[in-house]
Amino acid sequence: MKGTSLATILLAATSIAAVACQQAEQRAAAPSPVERGKYLVTAMGCNDCHTPWKLGEKGPEPDMTRMLSGHPEGMKLPPPPAVQPPWGPLATLTMTAWSGPWGITFTANLTPDQETGIGALSEENFVQAIRTGKHLGAGRDILPPMPWAWYGKMTDEDLKAVFAYLKSIPPIKNKVLDPVPPAPAGK
């Protein structure tokens, strides 16, 4: 009986220790909000539109010296060409300006610059903007091609991680143009 009791106690102690070690490993392996945010920003393709593209040795590539700084300030654009249905939206070669039936949109500066980026934005405003599709959570509509309706389904934890990462990157001063509404019908 004593041997059975000792074996039971040893088995229980070993099981408890194994579970405790596994839980400690899981806690240690959990990424920080900034690390999680970096992963999400990369996986969601934020650099595809919010980082200006340039021509590299192997073709177009994001200009990571301007990472997530949005449409380049001062970039002169001609009017977009007219497109007939079933053709759709057009983009500049930098991938930072888009035109379509909604008018012309310019990708936002997502760096933490206080004046031209998201530096003055609160976490609450950021989450609300992505959830509602409204600039600053209450202003004008966030326009295409920004897929806010899909991103708005993310968990609060993930949206806060994205915000934490965006606040951790270097600020880049770059004032992005306001959207241009579509021309009146018949013009």
Question: What does pTM read for this prediction?
Answer: 0.82
Q: Percentage of the chain with pLDDT > 90?
A: 74
In degrees and rounded to multiples of 5, residue 177 shows phi and psi of: -65, 155
Q: Using 50, 70 and 90 to split pLDDT, how confident is the model at 84?
A: confident
Mean pLDDT on 98-104: 94
End-to-end Cα distance, the chain: 96
Q: What's the confidence (pLDDT) of residue 82?
A: 86
Lowest mean per-residue pLDDT among 16-25, 35-44, 116-125: 16-25
Q: How far is CA 177 from CA 43, 174, 180, in A?
A: 26, 10, 9
Q: How far apart are CA 180 and CA 185, in angstroms?
A: 15
Q: Give per-residue pLDDT as tens, 122-151.
A: 999 999 999 999 987 678 999 999 999 999
Residue 6 has pLDDT above 80, yes or no: no
Position 59, amino acid: G
Of residues 109 and 184, more confidently modeled: 109
Q: What's the confidence (pLDDT) of residue 15?
A: 59
Q: Is 59 helix (H, G, I), strand (E, B) or coil?
A: strand
